């Protein structure tokens, strides 16, 4: 349908607004992304390759993959359980529960790390007990995982709760009536219904888990080659004025961001209805 011409702005205004928006995004978003790449390859691809393959960088990459590999599945299981409980049943206090699940998004990353230091650090509530039993949480892998799980806590749940609420429980009830067990119903009915929404939530959860800086910075202790994830390794290199290496490792994280955005957009274009329930 053609829109009435009086419903549109004059062409000049339209062109002006579009150009301002494009210029602003180019300046604020594209330029920083370009800066990472140009600095990373300032010494050519050999310098880049040397920086991303030296032992400390390799161990940072391994640690980042390990932390995300533990944290993302944990939050995926939690996200599915929480959305199942919230969307398939009717109980009191649901909106409070949803608010509490989304709480970590409003907490500063630094505070998200600090809370685990207060619990498990040397001065923390359980610090003495942990020391006696020779268990390391802070300045070790468990602390990095806890802090990462905290900051990525809401991602999967908040994607699935509206989607599963909109889908209702009719499909599941039908499967049960036909004699399927609870788990069969979940695997063969619910999971296929939510797969794209789940994938979308996991994608965003993973990007944040691999890129988290503030929270892991507080619990890591910055032990080179041991407790430095990729973002922390970038900081160490940058503070040592080793800019080319810092930007080289940062370029890997920028690549992760670009791939995440591409997959996210592809999911949105192809499966918009299957990702998010539009009210």
Partner 1 sequence: MGMARTLIRNPSPLPGLGLSLGITIFWLSFIVLIPLSAVFIRSWGGGWDAFWAAAGTPRAIASYKLTFGAALGAAAVNALFGLLIAWVIVRYHFPGKRLFAALIDLPFALPTAVAGIALAALYADTGLIGAQLARLGLAVAYKPTGVVVALIFVGLPFVVRTVEPVLAEVSRETEEAALTLGASRWQTFARVIFPTIAPALATGFALAFARGAGEYGSVIFIAGNMPFESEIAPLLIVTQLEEYDFEGATAIAAVMLVVSFAILMVLNLLQHWQQRRSA
153 contributes a contact to partner 1 by CB under 8 A: yes
The residue with tokens 């393959």 is 53
Considering only residues 41, 186, 199, 244, which one is a binding residue for partner 1 as defined by CB under 8 A?
Answer: 186
* Spatial distance between the Cα atoms of 196 and 132, rounded to a whole number of angstroms: 46
Which one-letter DSSP state was computed for residue 56? H
Q: Cβ 232 to partner 1, closest distance in Å? A: 8
Q: Cβ 262 to partner 1, closest distance in Å? A: 7
Q: Cβ 134 to partner 1, closest distance in Å? A: 22
* Spatial distance between the Cα atoms of 118 and 81, rounded to a whole number of angstroms: 28
Q: Cβ 255 to partner 1, closest distance in Å? A: 10
Q: Cβ 140 to partner 1, closest distance in Å? A: 17
Total residues interacting with partner 1, rule: CB under 8 A: 98
Considering only residues 66, 140, 176, 277, which one is a binding residue for partner 1 as defined by CB under 8 A?
Answer: 176
147 or 196: whose CB is closer to partner 1?
147
Which one-letter DSSP state was computed for residue 169? S
Site for partner 1 in 71-110 (CB under 8 A): 77-78, 81-82, 84-86, 88-93, 97, 99-101, 103-104, 106-110
Q: What are the structure tokens assigned to 19, written together?
A: 């150009």
Site for partner 1 in 5-64 (CB under 8 A): 6-7, 9, 14, 17-18, 20-22, 24-25, 27-33, 35-36, 39
DSSP three-state, residue 114: helix
139 contributes a contact to partner 1 by CB under 8 A: no
Question: Angle of helix 191-211 relative to helix 243-275, nearest 10 degrees?
Answer: 160
Site for partner 1 in 211-250 (CB under 8 A): 211-214, 217-218, 230-232, 234-235, 238, 243, 246-247, 250
Burial pattern 200-220, b for ≥16 Cβ within 10 A else e, equals bbbbbbbbbbbbbbbbbbbbb
185 contributes a contact to partner 1 by CB under 8 A: yes
DSSP string, 184-249: HHIIIIIHHHHHHHHHHHHHHHHHHHHH--HHHHHHH---TTTT--HHHHHHHHHHTT-HHHHHHH
Q: Cβ 118 to partner 1, closest distance in Å? A: 4
Considering only residues 116, 139, 196, 200, which one is a binding residue for partner 1 as defined by CB under 8 A?
Answer: 116
């Amino acid at each position: 349908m053609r829109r009435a011409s009086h419903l549109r702005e004059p062409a000049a205004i339209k062109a002006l607004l579009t150009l301002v928006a494009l210029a602003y995004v180019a300046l604020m978003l594209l330029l920083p992304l370009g800066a990472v790449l140009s600095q990373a390859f300032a010494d050519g691809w050999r310098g880049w390759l040397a920086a991303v393959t030296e032992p400390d960088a390799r161990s940072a990459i391994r640690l980042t993959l390990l932390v995300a590999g533990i944290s993302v599945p944990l939050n995926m299981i939690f996200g599915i359980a929480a959305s199942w409980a919230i969307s398939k049943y009717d109980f009191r206090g649901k909106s409070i529960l949803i608010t509490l699940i989304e709480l970590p998004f409003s907490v500063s990353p630094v505070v998200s790390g600090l809370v685990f230091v207060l619990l498990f650090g040397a001065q923390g509530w359980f610090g003495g007990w942990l020391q006696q039993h020779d268990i390391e949480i802070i300045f070790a892998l468990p602390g990095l995982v806890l802090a990462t799980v905290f900051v990525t806590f809401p991602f999967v749940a908040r994607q699935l709760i509206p989607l599963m609420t909109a889908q209702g429980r009719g499909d599941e009830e039908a499967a049960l009536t036909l004699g399927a067990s609870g788990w069969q119903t979940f695997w063969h009915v619910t999971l296929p219904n939510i797969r794209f929404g789940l994938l979308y939530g996991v994608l965003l959860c993973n990007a944040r888990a691999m890129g988290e800086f503030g929270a892991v910075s507080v619990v890591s202790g910055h032990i080179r080659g041991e407790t430095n994830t990729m973002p922390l390794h970038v900081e160490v290199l940058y503070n040592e004025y080793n800019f080319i290496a810092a930007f080289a490792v940062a370029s890997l994280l920028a690549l992760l961001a670009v791939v995440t955005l591409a997959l996210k957009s592809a999911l949105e274009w192809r499966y918009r209805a299957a990702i998010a329930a539009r009210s």
